[in-house]
Structure 1
Amino acid sequence: MFTASTLSGSKPEQYRQLAEQAKALLHGESDRIANAANLSALIYHALPNLNWAGFYFFDGTELVVGPFQGLPACVRIPLDKGVCGAAATTHQTQRIDDVHAFPGHIACDSASNSELVVPLVKDGALVGVLDLDSPVHARFGVEDQEGLETLARLFVESLG
């Protein structure tokens, strides 16, 4: 498994390496819990300056915490709350440089200062979100967003 110290090259190249590792982890497996567990561990240990990486799944009403790496998290998130709710309702990635300035931000971990949330959508239906938090302000750039959107797409494709 990759760690932050084993990835090499430019940031896009590092995300290509992560995508290849993700493909290998997801290959032949369609269970969303198993795949979310492996993918959250891969991301958390491969990318620097994260304090949380994981999944929330849509249960038809709200987002419910799934597999993750980091401190204990909020269990349920209403769709009209926080960065995760915004990504879920708009079906658009939310890249937030300062979560404290985001209206309705939910502070599950007060150490988090920036966040990137990628919606997980299959055949037009919300499956959930991939959520990453960082203690560093403005931790996530466009290259991070693109790389994590690729990993999220690979996860959704694994669902069969």
Structure 2
Amino acid sequence: MAEDLTITRNTSKEEQYQSIIPQIDALLYGETDFIANLANVAAALKEQFNWFWVGFYLVKQDELVLGPFQGPVACTRIKKGKGVCGASWQQAETIIVPDVEEFPGHIACASASKSEIVLPLIVNGEVIGVLDVDSEVLNKFDETDRTYLEQVISIILNR
């Protein structure tokens, strides 16, 4: 697929996901390099939604280590159970945080971040990483984001 995406912004969030997900699927089609695919997914999601930060942390030994991302510089290493990313890893579940200031133990990598969604990447019952998305707007993420971002993760993990 060409590296150009068709970005739709004047539509509903659901319609935006319905537009970008097939493009992500096509972008990853035939590419087996995991890191390259994560990089392109982070870029495609950032382009489509213009979120403050979107990227991946990968499990390496006993911590999450920063992987491909789009946005300002980020925390490099996160311990299991620490912050939203570490909690998602520990619980092996998606966590939606309407206001990061109210999340116990939130790690403030960037003070502009106000809300967050973190989704685990699970292979054979084991979390291998997380998709982390931050917004500078409170209460930005909801069940629509969870549903469609879980589809994105499924595309990534089935390549």
Smaller-chain TM-score bracket:
over 0.9
Q: Please give the residue correspondences for 1:86-97 in structure 2 after superposition, counting only pairs within 5 Å.
A: 86-97=87-98
Match of 1:47 in 2: 49
User: Does 2:72 correspond to 1:71?
Assistant: yes
Match of 1:142 in 2: 143
The alignment's TM-score, normalised by the length of structure 2, stands at 0.93
- Report the number of matched residues: 155
Identity of aligned residues (%): 46
TM superposition shift of 1:7: 4.7
Question: Match of 2:96, as an amino acid?
Answer: R
Structure 2 Cα separation of the partners of residues 2 and 77 of structure 1: 34
Structure 2 Cα separation of the partners of residues 102 and 112 of structure 1: 12
Is residue 57–residue 64 contact of structure 1 (8 Å, CA) maintained in 2? yes
Query: Larger RCO: Structure 1 or Structure 2 (Cα < 8 Å, ≥ 6 residues apart)?
Result: 1
Match of 2:39 in 1: 37
Structure 2 Cα separation of the partners of residues 139 and 148 of structure 1: 14
Supply the RMSD in Å over aligned alpha carbons: 1.2
TM superposition shift of 1:60: 2.4
Is residue 84–residue 118 contact of structure 2 (8 Å, CA) maintained in 1? yes
Secondary structure in structure 2 of the residue aligned to 1:139: coil
The alignment's TM-score, normalised by the length of structure 1, stands at 0.92
The runs of 5 or more residues in structure 2 that have no matched partner are none
Question: Match of 1:44, as an amino acid?
Answer: K
Secondary structure in structure 2 of the residue aligned to 1:73: coil
Structure 1 Cα separation of the partners of residues 83 and 43 of structure 2: 23
